[in-house]
Amino acid sequence: MAFIETLSTGYGNWNPLFWTFAFVIALILGWIIWRSGESSYKRDTEQVKPYLSGNPEPEKGEVHIRAGNMYWGFTEALKGYYDILVPLHNGILTDYILWFLGVMAVMLIIVAGVF
Amino acid sequence: MKISDSFKRSLWVFHFNSGSCNGCDIEIVGTLMPRYDPERFGIKLVGSPRHADVLLVTGPVVHAMADRLRRVYEQMPEPKVVISVGTCSQSGGVFFDSYNLDGPVSDIIPVDIYIPGCAPRPEAIIDGVVKAIAKLERLKGGEKHE
The answer to whether the Cβ–Cβ distance between B50 and A51 falls below 8 Å is yes
Distance from CA of A60 to the nearest CA of B (A): 19
Enumerate the residues of chain A whose CB falls inside 8 A of the CB of residue B16: 54
pLDDT tens-digit readout, A54-113: 999 888 878 888 888 888 899 899 999 999 988 888 999 999 999 999 999 999 998 887
pLDDT for B118: 92
pLDDT for B1: 47
User: Which burial class, exposed, middle or buried, applies to B48 when counting CB atoms under 10 A from its CB (0-12, 13-18, 19+)?
Assistant: middle
Enumerate the residues of chain B whose CB falls inside 8 A of the CB of residue A49: 75
- The count of other CB atoms within 10 Å of the CB of residue B73 is 21
Enumerate the residues of chain A whose CB falls inside 8 A of the CB of residue B65: 54
Evaluate if residue A50 carries a pLDDT over 50. yes
Calculate the average pLDDT of chain B: 88
Pick B136 or A54 by higher pLDDT: A54
Evaluate if residue B140 carries a pLDDT over 80. no
Q: Is the ipTM of this complex over 0.85?
A: no
End-to-end CA distance of chain B: give it in Å, rounded.
22
